[in-house]
Amino acid sequence: MAKRKINGIFLLDKPEGISSSSALVKCRAIFKAQKGGHTGALDPLASGLLPICLGEAAKFSSFFLEGNKRYLAQGTLGVVTTTGDREGEVVLERDIGDAVERLESVLEQFTGTITQVPPIYSAIKVDGKPLYKYARQGKEAEVEIPKRQVEIFELNLIEKTANTFTVEVYCSKGTYIRTLIADIGEALGCGAYVTHLRRTFVEGLPAGQMTTLDELQKLSNDREDKLNFSDLDSRLIAIEDALDNLPRVDIPLSIAQPLSNGVRQGTNFAEQILCQGGIKPNEMVQVRYHDYFMGVCYFTEDNVLVPKRLMDPELFREFLAKEKNLAQA
Q: What is the dihedral of CA 43, 166, 85, 201, to 10 degrees?
A: 20
Strand partners, 164: 76
**Do 137 and 126 meet the contact criterion of CB atoms below 8 Å apart?**
no
d(CA 295, CA 7): 13
DSSP secondary-structure letter at 89? Answer: P
- The burial class, CB within 10 Å (0-12 / 13-18 / 19+), for 6 is buried
Catalytic residue of the set 43, 127, 291, 302 = 43
Give the helix/strand (H/E) hosting 77.
strand 69-77
Angstrom distances, CA of residue 285 to CA of 53, 106, 277, 279: 20, 40, 11, 8
Backbone angles phi, psi at 58, to 5 degrees: -60, -30
DSSP secondary-structure letter at 174? Answer: T
Angstrom distances, CA of residue 168 to CA of 180, 182, 209: 12, 15, 19
**Do 211 and 195 meet the contact criterion of CB atoms below 8 Å apart?**
no
Residue 302 is among the residues annotated as catalytic for this protein? no
**Do 64 and 242 meet the contact criterion of CB atoms below 8 Å apart?**
yes
Annotate 246-294 with DSSP letters as a single string.
SPEEE--HHHHHHHHTT--EE-SSHHHHHHHS-PPTT--EEEEETTEEE
What residues act catalytically? 43
